[in-house]
Amino acid sequence: MRRLLTVLSLGTLGLMATSAIASIAQSAPTPEDVADAALAAYTHDFYGGRYERALTDIQNVKVDSDNTEAVALLAALRASALLCLKRNSEAEPLIAQVRKIDWQDPEPDKALFLGGVFSDRIDVAADALNHMIARYPDAARDLNSGPVDYYFSKAPPGQATDDQWIALAKLGYGGDTETGHYFTFKAVKLLAQRGDIAGARSLINYVAEPAQIEDLLVMKRFAALWPDAAEVAGPHLSKIGNALVQSAQRRVDQAPDNEYALQNLARALQSTGRLDDAIALKAKLPQTSAEMAKADEQTGWLVDNVAEAMHAAGDWKGADRLFELLNDAPIPNEDWRVNMKINRLGLLIEDGRFDRALPLIEPTAQTDGSDYAKQVVRVFRYRTYVGLGRAGDAAALLPEILANAKDAYAATIDGLLCGAQFDTAEKVALQALAADKDGTFAEDFVLGLQVAPLDFDTSSDFTKRWAEFRKRPAIAAAFDRLGRDMPAEFLPQIVGTK
């Protein structure tokens, strides 16, 4: 019966029962065949949210009592489905049974981790994750990013959760991907904040995003890592930029039609100043509205990165037409497009094209988005009214904008600066810094106040208004306490523009 453990891999989405059932139909089923089919059916139903059916799928599966891995797995599967059905009193004894068994396979922990995540029993998920990290690091490293992201979004903040994050980063969780880069970067910051500079140094070579190295190079709380960050960055961020592009290109070479790989390459090229190469990927995009109607989120991000490269290269009309093709296409379930709609609006407003931006604000506001997105759209509406000289309309928006400032502090402050509300902007900034527990806003604050912009597509007006803001004594003092201007040798450069 040990083949029972070979069928189910709960870390892989979409396992279907059909193949196992078909194999049974072709010959007299063995007990192992029945168990395999039941487990495949369970996986299909569990991921489909049919938890009662998932329980039924495995209720008649029998295993030898000396097969500890199979006993533990079945108990974990039943417990996970029961947790999702909110039948906790039935699940708890099964979880206790699993914990008493000395099994030698990660699958029971995977099942309990997913059951804990899907049922919002974060305590169960935390225990399973800790067990995997300690006993099955390879399985922990290969967990699907969706459940892991959800777990960390729900896990209570504190040392225990940070320890898990650092442990996964040290295991190489996410690999050479955006997920892996993000995990590594946050782990470096957590270790540095703890004073574990040696631990931070052991991971800093795996930081792969130029924007992340920029954060490390300008924030004074990371001063002990400046020499290490400088080594990773290279002159004008060329070393880390080249590595990022080469990594993204390898993934495209391995899967030329993979949309995620293509958009990741476009982002790498655009963010490292390789504008011509990013713009060349426009040939990979749908060319008509009918073709664009089939786009998904990965295609949307490819459009976004290509359009932003076009804008940075000076072709604002071409960039806007490309955004327009995406944003006006008849795409169902379009909520993901709020990102591209916001980015299009931001470029138009920063360019001072307020007449063109105004009719786009309401459709963008009607697209479901996060609290952050909603606040950014409020600020864009305010900035557009200011730009059009509609002072009364702009003033009427201020109470709502200030009431929601915490949802997007940096965007709120930028909007207030556009409206010449310098006193209010200073008050919001200082309040945000005082409430900034993890340093996220402090990084936005220091980056926004840089003498030389670090973004290839930052307008001169943005630089001017933040430079004016920095002249205020309280703002200047906060900047000097928190950060520094990027040394000239690390300022990013555009590579190969026509």
pLDDT score recorded for residue 29 = 54
Which phi-psi region, left, alpha or beta, contains residue 237 (left: φ > 0; alpha: ψ -120 to 50)?
left
| Distance of alpha carbon 279 from alpha carbon 299, whole angstroms | 14
> CB neighbours of 266 closer than 8 A, spacing ≥ 6?
278, 281, 301, 302, 305, 306, 309
Predicted local confidence at residue 335, as pLDDT: 86
Decide: 167 and 133 in contact? Cβ < 8 Å: yes
Give the Cα separation of 107 and 186 in Å (integer). Answer: 28
What pLDDT score does 9 carry?
A: 40
Residue 404's contacts (CB-CB under 8 Å, 6 or more residues apart) are 371, 374, 375, 378, 412
Note the pLDDT tens digit of each residue in 322-364.
Answer: 999 999 999 987 789 999 999 999 999 999 999 999 999 999 9
Q: Which residue has the tokens 């777990």?
A: 151
Specify the range with the lowest mean pLDDT, choosing from 11-15, 201-205, 366-370: 11-15
The residue written with tokens 């806003």 in the block is: 441
483, 438 in Cβ contact below 8 A? Answer: no
Token readout for 200 is 């931070």
Using one digit for the tens of pLDDT, what is the confidence trace for 173-189?
Answer: 999 888 899 999 999 99
Orientation angle between helical segments 422-434 and 460-470, nearest 10 degrees:
80
pLDDT of residue 2: 30
DSSP-derived secondary structure for 96-147:
HHHHHS----SHHHHHHHHHHHHTT-HHHHHHHHHHHHHH-HHHHHTS-HHH
pLDDT score of 457 more than 80: no
pLDDT in tens, 189-244: 999 999 999 999 999 999 999 999 999 999 999 999 999 999 999 999 999 999 99
pTM of this prediction exceeds 0.75:
yes
Mean pLDDT of 154-179: 94
The mean of the pLDDT values for the chain is 90
Q: Could you report the per-residue pLDDT of 408-437, keeping only the tens digit for each?
A: 999 999 999 999 999 999 999 999 999 998
- Unique residue bearing structure tokens 């963010």: 271
- For residue 381, which of 426, 345, 423 has the smallest C-alpha distance? 345
How many other C-beta atoms lie within 10 A of the C-beta of residue 141?
A: 18
Question: What is the DSSP code (8-state) at residue 224?
Answer: G
pLDDT band at residue 287 under the 50/70/90 scheme:
very high
Question: Residues of the chain with pLDDT > 70: what percent?
Answer: 93
Residue 459 binned pLDDT confidence (cut-offs 50, 70, 90): confident
Given a cut of 70, is residue 485 above it in pLDDT?
Answer: yes
Share above pLDDT 90 across residues of the chain, in percent, rounded to a whole number: 80
Tokens of 5: 């453990």
Indicate if the pLDDT at residue 159 is higher than 50.
Answer: yes
pLDDT tens digits, 36-83 = 788 889 989 999 999 999 999 888 788 787 888 889 999 999 999 999
Length of the chain: 498
Report whether pLDDT(16) > 50: no
Token representation of residue 377:
């759209």
Three-state SS string over 302-365 comes to HHHHHHHHHHHCCCHHHHHHHHHHHHCCCCCCCHHHHHHHHHHHHHHHHCCCHHHHHHHHHHHH
Tokens of 154: 């729900």
pLDDT for residue 288: 96
